[in-house]
Every structure is written in structure tokens, then in C-alpha cells.
Amino acid sequence: MSEPTSSFDSRASEYLDKMVSGLIADGNIADPRWQAAFRAVPRHLFVPRFYRNDQEGSSIVELASGDHWISAVYSDIHLVTTEDVRSSSTAPSLMASMLQALELVGDERVLEIGTGTGYNAALLSERLGPDQVVSVDIDPDLVAQARERLEVAGYRPFVAVADGVNGYPDAGPYDAVIATCRLDYIPPAWLQQLRPSGVIVAPLGAGVAVLRKSATGDEAAGEFLPAAAYFMPLRHQAEPTAVGELIQIALNGAGVRRPYRFDTSMYRDNEARFWLDLTNPDVRAMTVDGVSVVIRPDGSWARLADALVVQGGPGAVWDDVEAAHGDWLAAGRPSRAQYRLRITDAGQDVFLAGRSGPTYRLMPLPD
């Protein structure tokens, strides 16, 4: 990057320096090569505005140049970058742990799924050079903006509009794939486009999976980073439009009534939630008008109040969530670092390392 040319640039560079020093002091960027990359890429060029909620829950935009804007951009926080919350810039500490988990040497070719602001693509380009980085986003407007910002910042990775579930075969194969949107399973196309011994780092449920393809290329295995991670979903897996209607049915429907074993507070425990999100990825639990409501895109619903659950629709969603939570408790409340992930031609399985306990198949493959 060029030297600061104005008092604003020099103020931004002080903020950047302070943020990176803080990330290093807190042990979030141990690798000196990533320390240098974070120092070189100015986050503010990629987040010229962000949105936050005020105390009443209304959206407020923070525009470039305000003091609040620059200090937030150089804080270790995640920033929502579109008013409809379809994209965001991930918290830098989480970005750093995901980038370091790629274990790059420096000559790898990397595919990023979820270009968003372009900041992560810039960090990868700083580390690997422009010809080695391919980044795709499903949203054409975001891709156009990211291209402009990358250009201004002096980076030229290959950025394309594409549905990341298909990877990006035209520019592969890759040594690594990094995703910054949440998945329910690892798309088979990523494994096909990954070289033997290549790495995938991807948010899975409420965690980040780190997988290495075998040298023979016939399976991939890995684990989860210890930190919680709540990414936006890969968009085709996002909720259908009938959500509002389903919430109303859940609030008022006459379904089957019984005492509940567990209430929705289990979702507030990060480790319990990890298992619940993996095993029941489509379930959404929320509070509406003081009532706990649970819905699933298949039209199943439940509401919990006064020690009773009332549920209806095609499936018994609360039975499924309680069963998963019961499995987690019976296994001794494992944390995400204890799980392993194995992908073969037979399917994608999550299980507890070295122990008997719940096993979950993420994506059963057809016979």
C-alpha cells in the first residue's frame, strides 16, 4: 500500500495499526505473514458504510468519515454492510483465525465463497498475489462494489458473480477453499475442485469446519475451530418468504399440546447451540410478543409458554430439537472442539473424537 497522503489517511492508519496490534496482543494473529497482511490492508476502504440498530431496533447507517464510523471499522466487530442484512464484514479476529486455518505457505491458489465487501479477498491477495485468488458472490451489486474497492486499494483478485454452491470450476483446481457464509453441509463441488491435500475452511452451523482432503483424494476429514461463529446463510438455503405467515400460525395455531422437557434457553448456550444448529439447521427459534416461537421451512411450528409446548405442521419440530438436545446432554455437553468431520463417498458425518456419542450425518448421499 502507498504511504498516507492526507490527515485522514494518517488517522485511519493509526486506527488500523492499533486494531492489528490489539489483535496480535490478544493472540488472534500469531502468524507474522498474516500480521503483515492485516497491517497492509485498510479495512475502511471496504466498509464505507455500515448499518446498526438503535435502541428501538431501527436501522441506522454510519457513513464514512464520522468518528463513530472509523472507530467501529477498526474495532474487532462484525459490521452489517447492507440495509437488508444480506452481507457483512466479519469480525477481524474471526477472519484471522479462518485465514490462518488455511495453513498457507504462499504459493497456493485459493477460492473464496462470499466476496461481500472484498476485504477478505484483499487480505488473501496481499498474502498470495492477485493471480492466486478467486472470489465469488451470488450478489451482482456486491461484486461490482467489491471490484471497485479492491481496485482503489490496489488489489486485483479474480472476482465473479456465481452461486458458490457450485464452486468456480473454470478457475480451479484450488489448493484451498474458504467460505464466509454458513452452510448445512460441504458442497461436493468444492471437494471436486480441491487438489489432493487441499484445505476447506467453512462455517458449518454455528462453528467453522476445517477439513483436509486426503493425499489420495478419496476423502476429507477435519475438525472445528473452538470459537463460535454465526455467519449469514448461503443464500439458496435462506429462509423462504412465507416466514411471517408461519410465525403467525405458530403464535395462534391449535396444535398438539404437551409439557416441554427443555425450553428455548438452550439456544443461549454456545456449545448446545452448535449441536442444535448442526442437527436441525433449518430451525429458527425466536421470541415474538414475549412468546417463544420455533419454525422450520417445511411448515412445522411450535410455541412454548407456561411450561407447555404446542406444535403443528407436517413434523413435530420441538420433538426433534428436544431429542438433539437430549443427545448432547447425554454425551456430557461436548464443546465444538471435540467434534470431528469426515466426508467420504458414503456421506458427511460429524462425530465425537475418540468417544461414543451422537453422530450426525450432514448430507446423506443417494444410494
Ligand X SMILES: C[S@@+](CC[C@H](N)C(=O)[O-])C[C@H]1O[C@@H](n2cnc3c(N)ncnc32)[C@H](O)[C@@H]1O
Residues annotated as catalytic (active site), given as ranges: 88
Q: Does 93 bind ligand X (CB under 6 A)?
A: no
> 16, 28, 34, 89: which one contacts ligand X (CB under 6 A)?
89
> 176, 181, 194, 310: which one contacts ligand X (CB under 6 A)?
181
Sequence-distant (6+) residues with CB within 8 A of 318 are 260, 294, 302, 304, 309, 311
- Residues in contact with ligand X, counted by CB under 6 A, come to a total of 26
Q: Does 119 bind ligand X (CB under 6 A)?
A: yes
> 28, 97, 120, 125: which one contacts ligand X (CB under 6 A)?
120
Sequence-distant (6+) residues with CB within 8 A of 122 are 41, 46, 150, 153, 155, 157
> 20, 34, 90, 93: which one contacts ligand X (CB under 6 A)?
90
Q: Which is nearer to ligand X, 136 or 250 (CB)?
A: 136
Q: Does 163 bind ligand X (CB under 6 A)?
A: yes
Q: Which is nearer to ligand X, 117 or 311 (CB)?
A: 117
Q: Which is nearer to ligand X, 51 or 351 (CB)?
A: 51
Sequence-distant (6+) residues with CB within 8 A of 305 are 291, 292
Cα three-residue angle 160-45-179, rounded to 5 degrees: 40
DSSP 51-92: EEE-TTS-EEEEETTSHHHHHHHTSS--EE-STTSS-EE--H
Q: Which is nearer to ligand X, 130 or 217 (CB)?
A: 130
d(CA 282, CA 238): 9
Cα three-residue angle 319-361-270, rounded to 5 degrees: 65
> 102, 138, 246, 266: which one contacts ligand X (CB under 6 A)?
138
Interface residues with ligand X (CB under 6 A) are: 86-90, 113-114, 116-117, 119-120, 136-139, 142, 163-165, 180-181, 231-232, 234-236
